[in-house]
Chains A and B, each alone.
Chain A
Amino acid sequence: MSKRKDRYQSRTEILQGTLDMLILQTLQWAPRHGYALSKAIRTNSGEILKVDTGSLYPALHRLERKGWIASEWKTSELGPRLRIYRLTQAGRRQLMSERSRWERLTAAIAGILNPGEKENVP
């Protein structure tokens, strides 16, 4: 029973962690609101990654609750009030650790996918 639960959790963790990392990474350069954030992720990934907004807002609220990002309301000249998210100090640290974990993971996966090319990697 518990075993199954662990497996399930680790799977969602990777997915969630990935989105979390992308959000944190994107916010590293400048504070953004939700729409800009989703657009930035899409553009920076060369239109490959499309963020499902159904997961974006829950993720933003979750990250805020964990204290990795903070938000404030700003009034734009043209339209409605906007909620702007920015990275916190804790978020920066979290990003570092997630990045290194991600790099280890991708290296490991690459190693499995291309066993012969290992020596060729500079």
Chain B
Amino acid sequence: MKRSFWRRERRNEDLQEEIRAHLHLAEREAMESGMTKKEARHAARREFGNVTVAEAVTRDMWGSRWLFDFLQDVRYALRSFGQRPGFVAVALLTLALGIGATTLMFSLVNGVLLKPLPYPEPKRLVAVNGHTDGWNTKIYGEQKLSYPDFLECQRESRSLDMAALVYNSGTLSAPGLPQYVDYFEISPELFTVARVPVALGRAFLPDEDRIGATPVAILGYSFWQKRFDGRTDVRGSTVTLEQNQYTIVGVAPAGFRLYGDEPEVYTPLGQDPAGYLRNRAAQPVHVIGRLRSGATLAQAQAEVALTGNHLAQAFADTNKGRSLQVKLLRADVGDTGSTLWLLLGAVGLVLLIACANVASLMLARAVSRERELAMRVALGASRGRLVRQCLTESALLGLAGGLLGVMLARVGLSPFLTFWPGDLPRIDEVQVDWRVLLFAVGVSVLSGLLFGLAPAWRAPVRELERILRAAARTMAGSSRQLHSAFVVSEIALAIVLLIAAGMLGRTLLHAASLDPGLDIRNLLVMRVGLSPATLADPARIPAGWQEVIDRARRVPGVEAVTAVDIVPMRPGNNQIGYWASADMPQKEKLPMVLASSATPDYLKVMGIPLLEGRFIDDHDRLGSELVIVVDDVLAKSAFGGRDAVGSSLWIPDMPCVQATNTFVDCSAPYKIIGVVGHVRYWGLAGDDQAQVRAQLYYPLAQVAPPFLRRWSQLMSIAVRTSVPPLAVVEPLRQELRGAASDQVLYQVRTMEQLAHNSLALQRFLLLLFGIFAAMALVLACIGIYGVLAYLTGQRVPEIGLRMALGASPAEVMWLVLRQSLGIILLGIGIGTAVALATGHVMERLVEGMQPISLSTFILTIPFLVIAAMLASLLPARRASRVDPMNALRQE
């Protein structure tokens, strides 16, 4: 680079010398023919023509001229920026805000959705899933594998290294206070397959992956930091988890998480003797794999599918109709994607407005520079050269704005993340990394081109002479239209954002006015980890729950207590199929219902009205008639709302049982004993559009003992209080500790918090869209002000003439306001059309979104019209105060 630069300098000097020699010789000859020295010089010059052009054209022969032109353009641009610091400051600030907001939002999209998994060679990592026709991935997530099927796959596979993971939770009772923890039971290969080394100690050994081996555990990194202060001597010490003592052999890699949150503890999957791990009908195992070197995804898919077929034939009673699939492993981010894309789209609109604003500023500048540019054309600059010059200026502005924007994004990122409602998945991977920087540079250059193109296009070529002759005040009609076009598009974009914000506002208002179906005040819900000793013996579990309920009821301030497995507006649910007659269609075609077990006080605690019949009572227990209570939604959809009580439902997936403790034919019907009010289980906003709304309750006392342990891990208690609910939390914690003081309460929430949180996303979106809409409005107003001020400035002589001819100040004001009103109305018209289209997108992406209504328009549009008219008032007033004499003298 440098060398070529030098070579070029040399050549440049050579060329100049060559041309000088040429002139010199011509001059000498002319003198010899009798001219004076002065005459000769003129003649030689005349003969030669334009030296500069000759040099320039010759230099063109050498190539790489663009670089020099570019540097020249940059110098020129910087100089002209220096002359207009005000313009540059406004443009930079506008761009920095637009690009900053867009970059920030993109760093979220990038971290959560786009970045590959944080493991080496992430594209060779796969997930192995089961698949059955009719399985609804949306409701249940991907189908997992049974442990025996996993072992089979692992043994058979030639193309994949596989590892298994089972999510579990339980009470960690020592060392320290008992705590309810998440733990992953894993196969020993997990860390090898992910190719991340353990932070401390070692992974599990193959020999430890069998029943009866020495119990060993690996600590999750965060848990190790919190509970053991990151001490390196934890190896060899023990933890007691679900009554088993494990020796710690290592610490998992920092931030290692595959499904959901980082677990506290890892234990060897093969050591767990639990029955469900031996049952091919139960599928709790997440399977991940890594393609062996040389193997392709297609090979792995074919191979695993073959194993799946083989299993389906060999174990027809459990595996019939189930196939196995291999997919690239992706981060589990739930439905965050739609929210993130929505927000990125919204900031994109703000950026567009910012670009339109800067473009109209640039254009105003370009018009006032028209004479300067025309002069350069006259002096021999080509049009392409001028266009390039303009684009260089805007690209520089864009990049500088982008730089500021990236800085803004970096500073604003972590405060923004703390505002995010609920847990943002992969939050620790949201950073300003090279992808984000690349994006920011791309966006900056693109916006530079976007706002630079229009002014550049106007670089004058035609009507050169007219421009040079005319005074600076004249203005081509096309330029006025272009100016107005920018303002129209700004207003249109602002309208889209305003209406989106309006829709969100209406949605929130609507949701807040809805009846949740239960009494959310003075209601506390929490999960209870029963004592591991109780859980170990299914026969003791019912008594264990009864004791929890009885003891909780004794706490002062507590009015009533119930056990329940699914809690409204809290994540986690249980959906099963039902039918109103014994003549059932295929299982996959059954309508679904949210099913929850409950104890007799449930209605009283939750404040749900009983509409018909009775609720579960103490007489409904194992051995008595199987009963259920349904909500009015189910009563209506299954029985048309009449005679539901006394009818029966057939529910094949219920944990049905007979007094003898053996499974019965699950086609046995469940008798409906009562109808209760519907509860907005899916949250205030989301419930109306939820796929599965119907609800039913069955007695916890009728759950079969083999299911009780699993049920107990999911159970919560709900407490109605006569005092502020948070006041009873500590007393409850003390009271419920149990004899071995190893019973723990966790996920303690008031129902008011849950109801509030169920609208958190909508509230957050409203806040952001409100901010975006406000930014858009301000930018649009600045744009209107700038353009009108400019346009009126151009019209000063005309206005002066009108006033000299007798126009009143009011008429002049109206003249200007009418012009702006026209622009505003056109913008509103276009904006409304676009908003109607984007409104449908919002309805799809945001849960519980209310459709666009007339009131949204009625509330938002006057707002914009007033703001825009205020922005145009100032130029209008200025115009009305034009002194006719002065104005005319400008001619």
* CB proximity to A under 8 Å, residues B5-26: 14-15, 17-22, 24-26
Q: Does B28 contact A (CB under 8 A)?
A: yes
Cβ A61 vs Cβ B62 within 8 A: yes
User: 1/0 contact trace for B671-685 toward A, CB 8 Å?
Assistant: 000000000000000
* A54-B50, A54-B53 as given contacts; A61 in contact with B24, CB under 8 Å: no
Instruction: Among A34, A52, A57, find the residue whose CB has the most chain B CB atoms closer than 10 A.
Output: A57
- In the complex, which range does the number of interface residues on chain B fall in? 20 to 34
Instruction: Among B20, B25, B48, find the residue whose CB has the most chain A CB atoms closer than 10 A.
Output: B25
Note all chain B residues with C-beta closer than 8 A to A122: none
Note all chain B residues with C-beta closer than 8 A to A36: 25
Cβ B24 vs Cβ A80 within 8 A: yes
Q: Does B806 contact A (CB under 8 A)?
A: no
Note all chain A residues with C-beta closer than 8 A to B58: 57-58, 61
CB contact between B61 and one of A33, A65, A80 (< 8 Å): that residue: A65
CB contact between B19 and one of A52, A57, A81 (< 8 Å): that residue: A57
CB contact between B25 and one of A54, A57, A58, A79 (< 8 Å): that residue: A79
Instruction: Among A52, A54, A73, find the residue whose CB has the most chain B CB atoms closer than 10 A.
Output: A54
Instruction: Give Cα A36–Cα B28 distance, bound, in whole angstroms.
Output: 13
User: 1/0 contact trace for B192-207 toward A, CB 8 Å?
Assistant: 0000000000000000
> How near does chain B come to A20, taking the closest CB pair, in angstroms?
13
> How near does chain A come to B14, taking the closest CB pair, in angstroms?
7
Note all chain B residues with C-beta closer than 8 A to A33: 18, 21-22, 25
CB contact between B21 and one of A52, A53, A55, A83 (< 8 Å): that residue: A83
Q: Does B585 contact A (CB under 8 A)?
A: no
Cβ A82 vs Cβ B61 within 8 A: no
Cβ B48 vs Cβ A53 within 8 A: yes
> How near does chain A come to B381, taking the closest CB pair, in angstroms?
16
CB contact between A83 and one of B14, B49, B50 (< 8 Å): that residue: B14
Cβ A79 vs Cβ B49 within 8 A: no
Q: Does B156 contact A (CB under 8 A)?
A: no
* A53-B48, A61-B61, A65-B61 as given contacts; A80 in contact with B53, CB under 8 Å: no
Q: Does B60 contact A (CB under 8 A)?
A: yes
How many residues on the A side are at the interface (Cβ–Cβ under 8 A)?
A: 19
Q: Does A101 contact B (CB under 8 A)?
A: no
Note all chain A residues with C-beta closer than 8 A to B17: 80-81, 83
Q: Does B57 contact A (CB under 8 A)?
A: yes
Whose C-beta in chain B lies nearest to the C-beta of A57? B58
* A54-B50, A57-B54 as given contacts; A34 in contact with B18, CB under 8 Å: yes
> How near does chain A come to B52, taking the closest CB pair, in angstroms?
10
Instruction: Give Cα A79–Cα B19 distance, bound, in whole angstroms.
Output: 13
Cβ B21 vs Cβ A82 within 8 A: yes
* CB proximity to B under 8 Å, residues A67-98: 73, 79-83
CB contact between B18 and one of A65, A79, A83 (< 8 Å): that residue: A83
Instruction: Give Cα A61–Cα B18 distance, bound, in whole angstroms.
Output: 12
CB contact between B28 and one of A52, A55, A79, A82 (< 8 Å): that residue: A79
User: 1/0 contact trace for B43-75 toward A, CB 8 Å?
Assistant: 000011110011101101110000000000000
Note all chain A residues with C-beta closer than 8 A to B28: 79
CB contact between B22 and one of A34, A52, A61, A62 (< 8 Å): that residue: A34
> How near does chain A come to B856, taking the closest CB pair, in angstroms?
49
User: 1/0 contact trace for A19-57 toward B, CB 8 Å?
Assistant: 000000000000001111000000000000000111101
Note all chain A residues with C-beta closer than 8 A to B18: 33-34, 57, 83
Instruction: Give Cα A84–Cα B444 distance, bound, in whole angstroms.
Output: 51
Instruction: Give Cα A53–Cα B15 distance, bound, in whole angstroms.
Output: 13
Cβ A79 vs Cβ B21 within 8 A: yes
Interfacial residues, chain A to chain B (CB-CB below 8 A): 33-36, 52-55, 57-58, 61-62, 65, 73, 79-83
- The 4 closest A-B CB pairs, nearest first, are A35-B25, A61-B61, A80-B21, A54-B54
Assuming A58-B54, A79-B24, A80-B24, what are 10 further A-B pairs, CB within 8 angstroms?
A: A52-B49, A53-B54, A57-B18, A57-B54, A57-B55, A58-B60, A65-B61, A81-B17, A83-B14, A83-B18
A to B CB contacts below 8 Å, 12 in the list: A33-B22, A34-B18, A35-B22, A36-B25, A53-B22, A57-B18, A57-B19, A57-B58, A58-B54, A58-B60, A80-B21, A81-B21
